[in-house]
Amino acid sequence: MKIEDNKGARLSRQRETILEELRKVTSHPTADEVYDMVRKILPRISLGTVYRNLDFLSNKGVVLRLGGAGTQKRFDGNPAAHPHLRCSSCGRVEDLEGPCALPELPVEQSMGYVRLRCDVEFVGVCPTCAGMNF
């Protein structure tokens, strides 16, 4: 993405604010939720700008984009590989508490792929959706 035009400074300020806000939370917000957070600081930012910057940041590996086909994309300010819990009912995503061993892929099995990472996601029904009052 080329940003060396007269909008460059504004774009990087928007991108920095998006990144700062995303790093403050562990709620794994959707693009719409990031938009609501960033709008409090940059009231004139557009949803499209937020989408584009989140794509840019996740393509660069600065943030994680979570969620496969059929689920709403969520974003994580922590780009390090870490396991997640996702509720199949309400869609919330949380970081797993405590350590969890991630599988490792031997180089000879990587089939020439580079920049590999392992996305581990446990899917279940959260306590709220299950009707339990924790």
Q: From 79, 78, 10, select the one nearest 49 (Cα to Cα).
A: 10
Tell me the closest approach of the beta carbon of residue 12 to Zn ion, in angstroms. Answer: 25
Does position 95 interact with Zn ion (CB under 5 A)? The reply is yes
> C-alpha distances in angstroms, 88 versus 28, 75, 99, 109, 132?
15, 17, 23, 31, 16
Does position 126 interact with Zn ion (CB under 5 A)? The reply is yes
Q: Is 79 helix (H, G, I), strand (E, B) or coil?
A: coil
Does position 33 interact with Zn ion (CB under 5 A)? The reply is no
Does position 21 interact with Zn ion (CB under 5 A)? The reply is no
Given the rule CB under 5 A, which of 13-21, 29-37, 68-76, 107-115 is the region that contacts Zn ion?
Answer: 68-76
Indicate the residue among 62 and 87 with the shorter CB distance to Zn ion.
Answer: 87
Does position 29 interact with Zn ion (CB under 5 A)? The reply is no
φ/ψ of residue 87, rounded to 5: -85, 125
Q: Annotate 34-55 with three-state secondary structure.
A: HHHHHHCCCCCCCHHHHHHHHH
Say if residues 93 and 66 touch (Cβ distance below 8 Å).
yes
Does position 22 interact with Zn ion (CB under 5 A)? The reply is no
Indicate the residue among 8 and 124 with the shorter CB distance to Zn ion.
Answer: 124
Question: Where along the sequence are the contacts to Zn ion (CB under 5 A)?
Answer: 76, 87, 89-90, 95, 126, 129
